Structure formats: structure tokens, C-alpha cells
Amino acid sequence: MEKYIDCHVHPTEARLWIDASANLAPAISKSEKIRNRFIKPLEVMANDFRSQNAMGVLLAWDAESGTGLPKYPNERVCEIIKSYSDVFIGFASVDPWKGKYAIKELKIAIKEYGLKGVKFQQGAQAFYPNEKIFYPLWQTCSDLNVPVLFHTGTTGLGAGLAGGGGIKLNHMKPIPYIDDVAADFPELKIICAHVSWPWADEMLAIVKHKKNVFVDLSGELPSRIPESWKTMMSGQLKHKFLFGTDYPLISPKEWIDDFKKMNYAKDVEDNILYKNAKAVLDL
């Protein structure tokens, strides 16, 4: 039986959630219930995926320029993958404001560490992807033939804080910022994370229009995504949607159980749970 592939997984080490997220996710440090979900031993995390016959795409983190907070490095993701090769593959993270150094870091992460793509959180990293200063980075990703994962829609980082912790939601709007990149780099595979609220229809338009753009369904249970998305998932665009949890926010069991209740045809389930991801990630 093929393993399901969760395309959006955050490590559960305290160094990520307490150090790297710090003042942007205060609930994690204040609420024991939330801490127990977000911070757990890696073996427990791995078993959450094994129990569901699933693998996870583990995401690094580098928003030093935008937040001043320490990164969760590509090297650490590589170490975890080596220890849990039956469960995890990895995506790098680089700070786009670091210019040539970011490109160098990315090449090392892909060529030496064996990571399969690169993730960006434009709100925390405080940048617009369509600014020409970042185009050498997208060209490098295209040349390396690795997908780029962009955050879209609102974010839990800074939510409820005065000024949202300084994070500006407009950085994560799909049109024009991601649409421009997709048009200017047609060979670059782009995965857009989450349902993109409040720009869900905007995101769906890009997915329909741009052959090189895909969506991971992370951050929300499948039954709660917009009806327009459900229609496309089971029909015209069934090859464009990827299983994603935003773990540890949602566990693989919670997401898969909810998805199975929707009673999609077998080919639609297989596409979303693993076939589309295998194609996009060249697995």
C-alpha cells in the first residue's frame, strides 16, 4: 500500500516553537493544552505518521531578517530525516533578504542535504515574492527543479497581538504576488499552502489558470474548505490538490478521518493523499 504524503509538517521540537516562534505565538508558551499539542518528542511525532501509513514533508524555518528570531535550520531537518527516513522528507527554508547567501544555502540544502523543496512564509519574512530582487532565488529553484512552497491567506503567527506582532497579511495575498512569479517562471513548480482565506477564490483562479501551481490543503479540516474548492478537488482540478495538515495544528489522523468521510471516488482520494505529491516532488 502506498504511503500517504502530508505536504505541510512542522517539527515539534521546543527550539522551534519556543525559540523561533517566541513572541509571535505566545499561546504556545502560556497554555499547557496547546503546548502538549505543539511540543512533543520526535519519536511521538513520527509515530503519529506511522500509525496512519503516512510520511510528512518536514519544514525548516528562517525569518531572521523579518522577525529577528533564530532560525530552525536546514541542517536540523536533515538530521531528523536521517533518523526517521521511513517517515519524513524535508523542505529547506532560506531568508530571501539574504540574497546571494540565501541562494548558496539553498543549493547546499538541496544538493548536499537532499531536501526536496523550499518553504517561504512571506508574512514572517516580510517580503513580496514578485519583487525583482528575489527573482534570482526563483530562478535557482527552477534550475534545481525543486518546488517552492508559499504561505497564503491569514496566519496564526501574531494573531490576536497588538498590530498582529508586526506581520502584514498583504504579503500573503495570492494575486498579484504569487501569480506574477508563476507567470514569469513557468517551469517553477509552486505549492500554495492553506485555503488562502480571505482570498480563497483568488487562489483557486490561479490554480485553474497556471499549470505550474498547486495547493496543499493544510491548516483546515477538509470538510470545512469552501464548496467551490470541493467541486474542483473532485473534478477538473483533482490533480492539483495535495494532502497537508499543518501538523501539529492538525494531526494526520484528524485530517485523514475527516477526508475519508467525504466519500470521494477512489481516484480522487489517491490523487490527493499521495499521487499528486509524488508527481510534484518527483518521488
Query: 152 and 199 in contact (C-beta within 8 Å)?
Result: yes
Confidence at residue 18, expressed as pLDDT on a 0 to 100 scale: 65
Confidence at residue 189, expressed as pLDDT on a 0 to 100 scale: 98
CA 86 to chain CA centroid, Å, is: 20
Which pLDDT tens digits describe the chain residue by residue (283 residues)? 799 999 999 999 867 666 656 676 765 666 566 666 778 899 999 999 999 999 999 999 999 999 888 899 999 999 999 999 999 999 999 999 999 999 999 999 999 999 999 999 999 999 999 999 999 999 999 999 999 999 999 998 888 888 988 999 999 999 999 999 999 999 999 999 999 999 999 999 999 999 999 999 999 999 999 999 999 999 889 999 999 999 999 999 999 999 999 999 999 999 999 999 999 999 9
Query: 48 and 253 in contact (C-beta within 8 Å)?
Result: yes
Distance set, CA 95 to CA 24, 72, 91, 129 (Å): 17, 11, 13, 12
Confidence at residue 69, expressed as pLDDT on a 0 to 100 scale: 86
Confidence at residue 268, expressed as pLDDT on a 0 to 100 scale: 95
**What distance in Å separates the CA atoms of residue 32 and residue 49, rounded to the nearest whole number?**
23
Residues 6 or more apart whose CB falls under 8 angstroms from that of 72 comprise: 11, 13, 15, 16, 20, 60, 61, 62, 93
Angle 153-280-246 from CA coordinates, rounded to 5°: 40
Q: How many residues does the chain have?
A: 283
Distance set, CA 137 to CA 32, 59, 105, 146 (Å): 40, 18, 11, 12
Confidence at residue 159, expressed as pLDDT on a 0 to 100 scale: 84
Q: At what angle do helices 177-184 and 200-209 cross, to 10 degrees?
A: 10
User: Which of the four CATH numbers 3.40.109.10, 3.20.20.140, 3.40.1210.10, 3.40.309.10 does domain 4-281 have?
Assistant: 3.20.20.140
Confidence at residue 175, expressed as pLDDT on a 0 to 100 scale: 98
The residue ranges of every structural domain in the chain are 4-281
